[in-house]
């Protein structure tokens, strides 16, 4: 009987230890996954690949053109970097490789510029099964917001900022955390857990009642003068950089504005219901202008 009780005690203690270890691992891994970029490998394309190419080029591993295409030269450069960093040289840019690139990239860039020491969270609206507003011509808001966020990230990093995105691809934030989570909660949690200096959410507006409506709008947290200043600076800067009409800056009832602990702004860039706006948003050059405006507004906010 005593032996059975002892055996039961050991099983209970072991189960508790396993649970504690799993909890510790979860606490450690969740923030890492929250910051990690998408998995990239040969055949991948897009802005994230271009970011990897730029970092590897600055480090001397990549000698090709920064084109956002994960081809043989990029694969070779990634493997060489992984080997030199003590990682498995598998050519796959996953969380560990992203972390190593970020660490070395910060050193190589020196993190100089007007945004040095600032941590900024950019939130590309919608994602995954939630497309956001859909234009009469089939364009999805989630695609435009992600493109602008990725471009804005590059401009901000060039000015010394550390930038975390709530999503790096076409998926809802938090969907890769390993447990069910509301995507709005995940967006706010990523900003709060990283101790961000500011939070900026990027969206495209829609007004089916009048397809002629076009322009930029900024929203801020009620009662926060800092959030108002942030939204105002960004909205006016996007107006100047893109040529979109400035509509106004308003208090916003949005979850991501009222559940984040830092100055927060939500920017509506154009209208999915306006044909000219959509035609512009399809152009990478126009998205660059919008991204430059968002970055300029952020610089202006910190430089007050």
Domains of the chain (ranges; CATH) run 37-110 (1.10.101.10), 112-302 (3.40.630.40)
Q: What is the pLDDT of residue 54?
A: 84
Q: What is the pLDDT of residue 10?
A: 44
Q: What is the pLDDT of residue 27?
A: 35
Percent helix / strand / coil, the chain, rounded to 5: 50, 15, 35
Half-sphere exposure of 247 (CA within 13 A, CB side): 14
Angle at 219 between CA 169 and CA 199, to 5 degrees: 45
Q: What is the pLDDT of residue 11?
A: 46
- Spans of the chain, pLDDT less than 50: 2-4, 6, 8-36, 110
Task: Please report, for residues 11, 71, 118, 161, 303, the alpha-carbon distance to residue 115 in angstroms, rounded to integers and kept in the order given.
Answer: 53, 33, 6, 5, 9
Task: List, for residues 7-35, the tens digit of each pLDDT value.
Answer: 544 444 444 444 444 444 333 333 333 34
Give the span between the Cα atoms of 215 and 235, in whole angstroms. Answer: 10
CB atoms within 10 A of CB 105: 18
Q: What is the pLDDT of residue 13?
A: 46
> What are the structure tokens assigned to 106, written together?
């910060």
Q: What is the pLDDT of residue 105?
A: 62
Q: What is the pLDDT of residue 99?
A: 79
Give the span between the Cα atoms of 235 and 268, in whole angstroms. Answer: 8
> What are the structure tokens assigned to 56, written together?
């590897």
Task: Please report, for residues 136, 194, 228, 295, 300, the alpha-carbon distance to residue 262 in angstroms, rounded to integers and kept in the order given.
Answer: 36, 11, 12, 18, 17
3-class secondary structure, 249: strand
Residue 97, C-beta contacts closer than 8 angstroms, at least 6 positions apart: 78, 81, 82, 85, 87
Nearest to 125 by CA among 225, 201, 70: 201
Q: What is the pLDDT of residue 63?
A: 78
Q: What is the pLDDT of residue 22?
A: 42
């Amino acid at each position: 009987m005593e032996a059975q009780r002892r055996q039961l005690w050991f099983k209970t203690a072991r189960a508790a230890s396993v649970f504690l270890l799993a909890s510790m691992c979860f606490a450690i891994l969740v923030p890492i996954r929250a910051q990690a970029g998408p998995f990239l490998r040969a055949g991948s394309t897009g802005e994230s690949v271009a970011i990897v190419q730029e970092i590897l080029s600055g480090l001397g591993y990549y000698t090709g053109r920064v084109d956002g295409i994960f081809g043989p030269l990029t694969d070779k450069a990634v493997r060489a970097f992984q080997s030199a960093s003590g990682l498995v040289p598998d050519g796959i840019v996953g969380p560990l490789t992203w972390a190593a690139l970020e660490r070395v990239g910060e050193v190589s860039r020196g993190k100089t510029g007007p945004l040095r020491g600032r941590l900024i969270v950019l939130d590309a609206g919608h994602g995954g099964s939630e497309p956001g507003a859909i234009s009469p011509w089939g364009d999805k808001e989630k695609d435009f917001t992600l493109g602008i966020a990725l471009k804005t990230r590059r401009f901000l990093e060039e000015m010394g900022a550390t930038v975390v995105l709530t999503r790096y691809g076409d998926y809802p934030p938090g969907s890769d955390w390993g447990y069910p989570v509301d995507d709005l909660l995940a967006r706010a949690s990523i900003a709060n857990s990283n101790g961000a200096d500011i939070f900026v959410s990027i969206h495209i507006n829609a007004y089916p009642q009048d397809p002629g409506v076009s322009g930029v709008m900024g929203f801020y947290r009620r009662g926060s003068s800092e959030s108002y200043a942030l939204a105002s600076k960004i909205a006016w800067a996007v107006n100047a950089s893109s040529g979109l009409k400035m509509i106004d800056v308003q208090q916003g009832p949005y979850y991501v504005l009222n559940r984040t602990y830092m100055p927060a702004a939500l920017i509506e860039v154009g209208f999915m219901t306006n044909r000219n706006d959509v035609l512009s948003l399809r152009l990478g050059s126009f998205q660059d202008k919008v991204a430059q405006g968002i970055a300029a507004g952020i610089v202006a906010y910190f430089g007050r």
